[in-house]
Amino acid sequence: MLRYLNQCSRGRGAWLLMALIAFALEMVALWFQHGMMLKPCVMCIYERCALWGIVAAGIVGAIAPKSPLRLLAIAGWIYSAWEGVQLAYQHTMIQLHPNPFVTCDFAARFPSWLPLDKWLPSMFVASGDCAENQWSFLTLSMPQWLVIIFAAFLLVAVLVLIAQPFKPKRRDLFSR
């Protein structure tokens, strides 16, 4: 399995598939916001940023999958997935154990060199309450689903990292 993951990480297809899956999740988030009129909270906005990090890692990996740039893409993938797990877990705890003293911020805090809320306010401006559960599917809230999704991204990323030293087997027509 590790040889197979190594082989997949050296091709564009797997990287593009990962980027496409994360991008599709972003589009679903925008549908929830603009189509279903659900209000994203600050934690939702940060979780979106973590998903964009996975999209970016997929694009970087697809650009040069056979070069050392692949390792940078894996690092970005692991970092974004880890941050996503942490954010979604914190968001879940806020919803499951509401506390008037533990709340999320009113507005997302982005660095001055990357003011996403100013550049794309329809995507990165928060207007909801983190403690409010606006949507659920199969008894799980949106942050709980995101814990599962980010954990799956993280698990696969760690396996791909572990698989990097395992070279794919060469298959010759006449070898035994």
Q: pLDDT, tens digit, for every residue of 45-88? A: 899 999 999 999 999 999 988 888 888 999 999 999 999 999 99
Cα gap 130→136, rounded to integer Å: 14
Catalytic residue among 41, 70, 109, 176: 41
Active-site position among 8, 44, 49, 70: 44
Residue 84 near residue 50, CB atoms below 8 Å: yes
* Average pLDDT in the chain: 84
Q: Give the Cα separation of 76 and 146 in Å (integer).
A: 18
pLDDT digits (tens, 9 = 90+) for 76-126: 999 999 999 999 999 898 888 877 776 777 777 778 887 777 787 777 777
**Residue 104 is among the residues annotated as catalytic for this protein:** yes
Q: Is 41 a catalytic residue?
A: yes
- Among 48, 49, 109, 170, the active-site one is 48
Q: Which residue has the tokens 């279903």?
A: 36
Active site residue 48: yes
Catalytic residue among 8, 49, 70, 130: 130
Q: What is the rounded distance in angstroms from the CA atom of residue 126 to the CA atom of residue 11?
A: 37
* CB contact at 8 A, 159 and 2: yes
